[in-house]
Amino acid sequence: MNGANTAWILTSSALVLFMTLPGLGLFYAGLVKSRNTISTLAQCYGIAAVASVVWFVAGYSIAFSGENNYIGDLSKAFLSGVSLKSLSGDIPEILFVMFQMTFAIITPALIVGAYVERIKFSAVLFISTLWILAVYAPVTHWIWGGGWLADMGVFDFAGGLVVHATAGVSAIVIVKVLGPRVGFPQYFDPPHSPVIAMTGAAMLWVGWFGFNGGSALAANANAGMAILVTHISAATATLVWMFIDWYKNGKPGLVGIITGTIAGLATVTPASGFIGPMGGFILGLLSGSICYFAVGFIKFKLNIDDSLDVMAVHGVGGILGTLLAGILASGTFGGLGLEKTVFDQTMVQLIGVIAVVVFTAIVTYVICIITKSLFGLRVAEEQEISEGLDLGTHGEQSYRF
């Protein structure tokens, strides 16, 4: 066992948990209407709790056990057989379980942004439980658990496919079944607190050092490079988004600025272990602009109320980064090099994207239909437009100054 690597992954586990709680929770809560603040936080928080237990019970085993190429088995259910002695690589397996658990927490929580302000809390918990078992764990097995995409040598360093693509695609599917918020797109309230949203975004940025840096599973130059390219992509995308906004609307909004950051972070995630600083810079330029237009396109052209733009930011970003990982890994762009040719690698990346998108879309759709028939998905319209989900669903008021 390597103590230094263990020290860094212990830290990374804390950082990635911090991304969801309170990071992502605040980021999303700041963007919704005041009367749905508690509801949004409770959704992220509740998912974190549910995901942890599900991961312990079966999720980890489905993702990281067995010889099967498409799905793990239940040999490690309840972490049976994971002792103090078991290692994965040169860190304790129990720590690897913990680190991976924080990924299993944030991924379904990312989807919250799609269905806030109208969904039933029970539906959120139920959908997330099934989703982790039937979508997240299998895809993780394919890519990180020694499954078929791993065999093909797909590049997904920290989860462009496993995390962001699955979350983005599911966002669209769920919204299609759930429907838009009442009044969308005519009546459209601005975020109730960019201050809170910025606080969350900044926490996500910081936590991402553990997300991408920790995915090196070691405290070495690889981890160092990962956080540097991650940071450069984030900073660059922030500026790109800001300047487009400034140019288009005359004003650089803070909500736009922080959204650029998240776009840059999501996009660099799959590539962060394979590229160099220049690659991070390029991904920042591309994500800041492409995700910018994706938001307007999905929301106001396609009129899909993916309320906080999970697909436009995470989905588009994660897929973009995955497709470019091979190219930017090449020496030409100062990348760390690759065994396959750039073309072959990119084909593999493409296969990975298609497989994950299609699989996720289908399974998520089935999950939504089941949940709808069992619980129903939406709160009463009166609750949605009047008291809000804070009082209606949780019986609490977010602010009492």
Partner 1 sequence: MKLIRAIIKPERLHAVKDRLNEVGIKGMTVSEVKGFGHQKGKTEFYRGNPVQVHFLPKIQIFLAVTDDKKDEVINVITEAARTGKYGDGKIFVNNLEEVVRIRTGEKGEEAL
Angstrom CA distances, 196 to 245, 260, 301, stand at 21, 16, 28
Q: Is 248 exposed, middle or buried (0-12, 13-18, 19+ CB in 10 A)?
A: exposed
Q: Give 272-301 as a DSSP string.
A: TTT--HHHHHHHHHHHHHHHHHHHHIIIII
In terms of Cβ atoms closer than 10 Å to its own Cβ (0-12, 13-18, 19+), residue 187 is exposed
Q: Does 195 bind partner 1 (CB under 8 A)?
A: no
Question: x/- site string to a copy of itself, residues 348 to 377, per CB under 8 A?
Answer: ------------------------------
- Decide: helix, strand or coil at residue 378: strand
Residue whose tokens read 């990312």: 110
Which of 44, 312 has the CB closer to partner 1?
A: 312
CA distance 132 to 58: 10
- How many whole angstroms separate alpha carbon 99 and alpha carbon 19? 13
| β-sheet bridge partners, residue 91 | 88
The token pair at 87 is 């290692």
Report the residue from 191, 270, 317, 326 that binds a copy of itself according to the rule CB under 8 A: 191
**Closest alpha carbon to 269 in 280, 278, 260:** 280
Cβ-Cβ contacts under 8 Å for 335 (sequence gap 6 or more): 274, 275, 276, 279, 328, 329
Distance CA 8, CA 56 (A): 22
The neighbouring-strand residues paired with 378 are 119
Size of the site for partner 1 (CB under 8 A): 29
Two tokens, residue 54? 């599900």
Contact call for residue 259 and partner 1 (CB under 8 A): yes
251 in contact with partner 1 (CB under 8 A): yes
**Residue 38 or 319: which CB sits closer to a copy of itself?**
38
Shortest distance (Å) from residue 249 CB to a copy of itself: 7
Site for partner 1 contains 77 (CB under 8 A) = no
Residue 177 interacts, among partner 1, a copy of itself, none and using kind-specific CB cut-offs from 5 to 8 Å, with: none
Q: For 76, what's the count of Cα atoms within 13 Å in the CB-facing half-sphere? A: 21
Residue 11 corresponds to which tokens in the numbers above? 């830290």
Q: What does 386 interact with, of partner 1, a copy of itself, none (CB < 5 to 8 A by kind)?
A: partner 1
Exactly one of 277, 344, 357, 366 binds a copy of itself (CB under 8 A); which one? 277
Binding mask 107-136 for a copy of itself (x = CB under 8 A): --------------x---------------
Residue 26's H or E segment, with its range, is helix 25-31
- Residue from 256, 280, 284, 321 that binds partner 1 (CB under 8 A)? 256
Prior bond of 191 cis (ω within 30°): no
Cα separation, 251 vs 9, in Å, equals: 41
292 binds, among partner 1, a copy of itself, none (CB under 5 to 8 A by kind): partner 1
Q: Is residue 79 near a copy of itself by the rule CB under 8 A?
A: yes
Instruction: Tell me the closest approach of the beta carbon of residue 239 to partner 1, in angstroms.
Output: 14
Residue 345 touches which of partner 1, a copy of itself, none (Cβ within 5-8 Å per kind): none
User: Binding to partner 1 (CB under 8 A): which residues in 279-298?
Assistant: 292, 295-296
Kindly state the smallest distance separating residue 102's Cβ from a copy of itself, in Å. Answer: 9
Options 108, 191, 318, 321; binder of partner 1; rule CB under 8 A = 191
Report helix angle 194-214 to 221-249, nearest 10.
Answer: 150
The contact pattern for partner 1, residues 215-244, with x = CB under 8 A and - = no contact, is --------------------------x--x
- Rounded to 10 deg, the angle between the 221-249 and 277-296 helix axes is 40
Q: Is 10 in the site for a copy of itself (CB under 8 A)?
A: yes
Enter the tokens of residue 67: 């010889």
Nearest residue (CB) to partner 1, 191 versus 273: 191
Question: At closest approach, how far in Å is the CB of 151 from partner 1?
Answer: 39
Q: Which does 248 bind (CB under 5 to 8 A by kind): partner 1, a copy of itself, none?
A: partner 1
Binding track over 367-396 against partner 1, x by CB under 8 A: ---------------x--xxx---x---xx
| Span of 16-24, 61-69, 109-117, 165-173 interacting with a copy of itself by CB under 8 A | 16-24
* Binding residues for partner 1 (CB under 8 A): 187-191, 241, 244-245, 248-249, 251, 253, 255-256, 259, 292, 295-296, 299-300, 309, 382, 385-387, 391, 395-397
